[in-house]
């Protein structure tokens, strides 16, 4: 059992610097670039990253607990699949709008408020709220994004056969990914604080392209089901 | 204050470059199969076969077919030397995705009858759309180690 916990943690560390930065780095970059450009102390600017990652790891732990309690990865993953695909699609759409906002055509997206879609209004509330605390629920939701690396850890969680061992396995994995994603977030935040004008707007275009990629990924996974 | 901010920014950029480079290298290192024996096969139609330099035949198969990600699978390894099954070997299986670190996925193999080793496990789905996987079978027998890699696609 202890070997399994250590393995889960090291999987997170190894995965964080390779897999996670590559696959979820665009997401981290998008909300870092979308942050207000008002000069703030570095630690204050890191708070969104800490909250986002705390939310993400909370979700991993919860899923790991459910996997451990059920003892079956396939059954639980099957039930989660639909939700995960929706999250992937919404994430892509949200990143596109974030990019539009950075580029400076956010006002033209006001039409979305006329659409009476609860999911979009909820997403807008989370993204548009001025409170830094919004990054925690954002992390909770985005922790549901489908990820092959986390699936492997969830298989291990299911194999523990228990709620708390399963939860602990997934929690340790999440903690292992923390150094890489916090570091990447710090770099992105430093870059966004020093970019102004056209370079900042170019960042918005990059965020939109990355959003299209996430959207395409979510639709492609859905189509394969 | 401005100078120290710039220095911190430059340091962050340099360190991030090193970290990203280390990540890329680590993926490359993890991706390189140490197997002398490697084959690409259509696991959806039939089993895969490798003949090692020491005259051992390693046959790898997955059931049920079609082989799909995110489902319970049975991994089968048949070992033989000529017409005789190899019954006293120690075998292990390592599933990985070439080019993408997906964590350790090692279904445990046990001999079910002469020369046939089976284990149950799951091949996870990668949201990138990549469906290429690699099964590395390690066989320890008579003081020697043989490693065979089978590259295949899942549905």
**pLDDT band at A99; cut points 50, 70, 90:** confident
Cβ atoms B69, B123 nearer than 8 A: yes
Q: Residue A92, Cα to own-chain centre: how many angstroms?
A: 11
Give the tens place of pLDDT for each residue, A150-203.
989 999 999 898 999 999 999 999 999 999 988 888 887 777 656 655 566 676
Q: At what angle do helices A21-34 and A163-194 cross, to 10 degrees?
A: 50
Partner-chain contact A18 B70, CB within 8 Å: no
Contacts of A149 in chain B (CB under 8 A): 101-103
B15 and A CB contact within 8 Å: yes
Give the tens place of pLDDT for each residue, B75-130.
999 999 999 999 999 999 999 999 888 888 999 999 999 999 999 999 998 877 88
**pLDDT band at B30; cut points 50, 70, 90:** very low
Q: What's the pLDDT score for residue B20?
A: 56
Residue A119: pLDDT above 80? no
What ipTM is given for this predicted complex? 0.74
A95 and B CB contact within 8 Å: no
Partner-chain contact B70 A11, CB within 8 Å: no
CB under 8 Å to B119, separation ≥6 — which residues? B74, B75, B93, B107, B108, B109, B110
Using CB atoms within 10 Å of the CB of residue B147, give its burial: 0 to 12 exposed, 13 to 18 middle, 19+ buried: buried
Q: What's the pLDDT score for residue B4?
A: 61
A214 and B CB contact within 8 Å: no
CB under 8 Å to A188, separation ≥6 — which residues? A28, A29, A32, A33
**Which residues are B113's β-sheet partners?**
B116
Instruction: Return mean pLDDT, chain A.
Output: 78
Most confident of A30-44, B1-15, B30-44, B133-147: B133-147
Cα gap B63→B47, rounded to integer Å = 10
Least confident of A44-48, A99-103, A161-165, A196-200: A196-200
Cα gap B78→B113, rounded to integer Å = 10
């Amino acid at each position: 059992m202890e070997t399994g916990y250590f393995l889960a943690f090291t999987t997170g560390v190894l995965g964080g610097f390779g897999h996670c930065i590559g696959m979820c780095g665009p997401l981290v970059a998008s909300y870092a670039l979308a942050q207000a450009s008002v000069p703030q102390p570095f630690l204050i600017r890191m708070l969104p990253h800490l909250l986002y990652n705390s939310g993400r790891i909370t979700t991993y732990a919860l899923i790991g607990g459910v996997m451990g309690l059920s003892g079956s990865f396939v059954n639980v993953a099957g039930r989660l699949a639909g939700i995960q695909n929706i999250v992937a699609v919404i994430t892509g759409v949200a990143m596109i709008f974030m990019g539009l906002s950075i580029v400076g055509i956010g006002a033209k997206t006001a039409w979305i408020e006329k659409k009476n879609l609860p999911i979009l209004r909820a997403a807008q509330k989370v993204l548009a709220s001025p409170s830094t605390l919004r990054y925690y629920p954002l992390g909770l939701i985005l922790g549901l994004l489908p990820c092959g690396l986390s699936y492997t850890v969830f298989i291990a969680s299911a194999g523990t056969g228990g709620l708390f061992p399963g939860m602990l396995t997934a929690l340790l994995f999440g903690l292992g990914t923390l150094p890489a994603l916090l570091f990447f977030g710090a770099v992105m935040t430093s870059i966004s604080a020093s970019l102004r004008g056209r370079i900042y707007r170019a960042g918005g275009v990059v965020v939109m392209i990355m959003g299209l990629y996430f959207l395409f990924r979510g639709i492609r996974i859905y189509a394969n089901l | 204050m401005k100078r120290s901010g710039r220095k911190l920014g430059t340091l962050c950029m340099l360190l991030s470059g090193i970290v990203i480079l280390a990540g890329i290298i680590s993926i490359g290192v993890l991706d390189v199969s140490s197997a002398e024996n490697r084959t690409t096969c259509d696991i959806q139609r039939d089993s895969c076969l490798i003949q090692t330099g020491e005259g051992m035949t390693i046959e790898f198969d997955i059931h049920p077919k079609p082989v799909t990600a995110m489902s319970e699978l049975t991994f089968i390894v048949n070992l033989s030397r000529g017409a005789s099954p190899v019954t006293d070997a120690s075998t292990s299986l390592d599933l990985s995705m070439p080019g993408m670190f997906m964590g350790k996925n090692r279904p445990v193999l046990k001999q079910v009858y002469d020369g046939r080793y089976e284990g149950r496990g799951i091949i996870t789905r990668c949201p990138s759309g990549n469906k290429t996987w690699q099964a590395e079978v390690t066989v320890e027998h008579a003081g020697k180690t043989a490693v065979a890699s089978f590259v295949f696609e899942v549905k």
